[in-house]
Amino acid sequence: MVMRCVLKHHVCLCVLSTAVLAGLALITAQTKVYAKSLNCNGFTNTSASGEAGDPRGDSETGKIECDGDGVYEGGYGRVSMRGQYQRVMGGIGGSNGELSGNRDIDMGKDLKPAVKVHGGRAVITIVGKLTITDNGKRNTNPAIQVERQGKLTLNDVNATGVYKGILVKDSKSSVIVTKGVIGVRGDYVIGVKNGGEVTLMRGVTVQGSMGIVFMGNGVANATVMGVGAKINLASGGTGVIMQGTGGANATVMNMTIQGGGVLGLM
């Protein structure tokens, strides 16, 4: 009987421990929901941490990551279009998905993309001026990366001296640049992998030794459109490169490419 009681007590303790662990796991999971989002609260503030849900907003110099997993909460923060106070929890930007305020990001401080948007609910417009540099010249990531059906519009961007410009991955991901300068020191200006779409509007200045690179298996459609935009290549540069297997479904429309060779196949 004593042994049985001890065993029962032992089992009870095990069950309790399991319940406690389950509760801790749930709490941990809840705190990690927005862990990937950073500086995607909607507005800049010199005292802000940029962490998801920070009522102070975003850091002016921190990298931007919008994961599309956020929610709006009433009673806090900014005023929405309907006049309701809202706080943003997670990576969906401020009201209407906008990120306001001027932002100046040095890619040399964190060897990752300066801006990363991913997830189908991440439909982001950076309305303030975005400046991207790589003072250490060590970062080989794209300055801007959009994937997993994310969508990004840049109203005014100046990305100079970066190793790669824009990378779009997956068929429903897209980037629109309406104004600005993109200057690349090493690899491609625009990369499209396994589908996706990049649009450069008139007034966008682009410079680099390699223009557009299409990558992937050729199953999804990839499109690069230039509404009056122009890519200026360095001497000996290549305008369009096709990489990957299975052929290619790639379209370049209304884009002027000046400088070196126009087409390369790899």
Q: What is the pLDDT of residue 92?
A: 77
Residue identified by tokens 């991913």 is 118
Domain boundaries, the chain: 33-70+87-265
Percent of the chain with pLDDT strictly greater than 70? 74
Residue owning tokens 């990001």:
105
pLDDT in tens, 11-20: 333 343 444 4
CA–CA gap between residue 34 and residue 70 (Å, rounded):
7
pLDDT of residue 96: 78
Question: Please, what is the average pLDDT of the chain?
Answer: 81
Distance CA 202, CA 105 (A): 24
Instruction: Give pLDDT, residue 212.
Output: 93
The string of pLDDT tens digits covering residues 32-87 is: 333 479 999 899 999 999 998 888 999 999 999 999 876 655 544 444 445 554 55
pLDDT at 35: 42
Report the predicted TM-score, pTM, of the whole model to 2 decimal places.
0.80
pLDDT of residue 261: 54
Question: What is the rounded CA–CA span in Å between residue 76 and residue 222?
Answer: 41
Return the pLDDT at 248.
62
85-89/71-79 β-pairing: antiparallel
Q: Where are the alpha helices (DSSP H) in the chain?
A: 2-31
Note the pLDDT tens digit of each residue in 79-134. 444 555 455 555 777 767 899 999 999 999 999 999 999 998 899 999 999 999 99
Place of tokens 């223009």: 211
d(CA 128, CA 113): 18
